[in-house]
Amino acid sequence: MSEYIFKLPDLGEGTVESEIGEWFIKVGDRVNEEDIVGSMMTDKAAVELSAPVSGTVIKLAGEPGDVVSVGAPLVIFETGDGVAPPADEAPAEPVEKKAVEKAVEKAPAAAAASTENTAPAPQDDNGEKTRVMTSPAIRRRAKEAGIDLAEVPGSGPGGRIIRKDFDNYLKARATGMAIPTPVKPSTRVKEIKIIGVRRVIAERMQAAKREIPHFAYVEEIDITELEALRKHLNGNRDRDDRLTLLPFLGLALIRALKDFPQCNVTHDKDRNLLLQHEAVHLGVATQTPDGLKVPVVRHAEMRSLDDLATEIRRVSEAARTNKATKQELSGSTITITSLGKLGGIVSTPVINSPEVGIIGVNRAVERPMVFNGQVAVRLMMNLSSSFDHRFVDGYDAAAMIQRIKDMLEHPATIFLQG
């Protein structure tokens, strides 16, 4: 029998350590070469790892959420015919066993709680009955009826017997029905380990808010004409191919960035440089089962409306289904975000570092507005934006949003070049 130590490989992009995302194996499992053994989390995505040899798993590096350095042992395989680990190398305890041990440690407390709930009467440390909490009026009624209040379940704070409890007890006793048990507030607390994508999101959001002085700017936009154009263009399209507002906003943003290049910038803090990009790599904030991800539409400035809409759908779906590549989840130069029908009136989106700007779409609603000197029902929507105030002046940020507003309110101008 011989051992093979599978060490965490270099996952690229300068990664020096990685978090265990999920194990697909456990100690004692027999695996074949190239079988997927688990996934490791990088800052960008989950990377699946396959077994380099065939053998029996005798030790794992840790549990999901643990961080392993590149080059450190990840899985130890027994590659011989036997399945038992060497005598000097005890196998790692499976997660199930650890869970059982934790449950056993908690058992005395749970048993005590159970005894307390089922005891016929509350007692103090000396074994004597404690005074039941209730009002003087209920005590008097109980005394007149010859009822021991310790037998009456209380639903008030701290088990206090209230009038409804006493009346229900009397009714149940008179009719022979079961004495109702009051519903007590739950004290259960579910512990959720912060691992994987959720941990990365938390760290990135914390860093963005800590390091970037956000400047927020909100503008109201009349999208009545834009919505009419969108519905017209969707008239003969399949449901899965219909246009949303995002590609229109994307095109307007791309046109505006030509005059405000200081907003199409990423900050290289290590070299103390601002990188001003000619290409627009458009980030599209996307809600997924794992949390918020930002897939990227590469060279959005080269795309038509339909092409942009198609690519937004493609990368968003790839992010939601965990099929997006590392390249598709990195490298954006500015981001747009939308909460869809949950968009609310206004929001303060967090900048997707190292970018310096993000544009957010809020919910569109019909409102009475003064239009051409008369009150008319118009479809109104707010754009909520945030900028890095270290590098984007408030005037420039407001001017760019005003340029986008003008194009969205007169949608034909979105398609005019120059």
* DSSP letters spanning 258-306: TT-GGGSEEEETTTTEEEE-SS--EEE-EEETTEEE--EETTGGG--HH
For residue 296, how many other CB atoms are within 10 A of its CB? 21
Could you list the active site residues?
Answer: 389, 393
Q: How far apart are CA 61 and CA 98, in angstroms?
A: 15
Q: Which two tokens stand for residue 254?
A: 């791309």
**HSE (side-chain half, CA atoms, 13 Å) at 122:** 14
Q: Which two tokens stand for residue 207?
A: 């860093």
Q: How far apart are CA 132 and CA 121, in angstroms?
A: 9
Q: How far apart are CA 381 and CA 343, in angstroms?
A: 10
**HSE (side-chain half, CA atoms, 13 Å) at 41:** 20
C-beta separation of 368 from 224 below 8 A? no
Q: How far apart are CA 4 and CA 73, in angstroms?
A: 10
Q: How far apart are CA 218 and CA 402, in angstroms?
A: 10
Contacts with 340 (C-beta within 8 Å, 6 or more apart), sequence order: 363
C-beta separation of 104 from 97 below 8 A? no
**Amino acid identity at 110:** A
Q: How far apart are CA 146 and CA 152, in angstroms?
A: 12
**Amino acid identity at 315:** V
Phi then psi dihedrals of residue 347, to 5 deg = -145, 165
Q: How far apart are CA 338 and CA 248, in angstroms?
A: 13
C-beta separation of 280 from 264 below 8 A? yes
Contacts with 293 (C-beta within 8 Å, 6 or more apart), sequence order: 197, 285, 286, 319, 324, 329
Q: Give ∠ CA 207-213-217 in degrees, rounded to 5.
A: 120
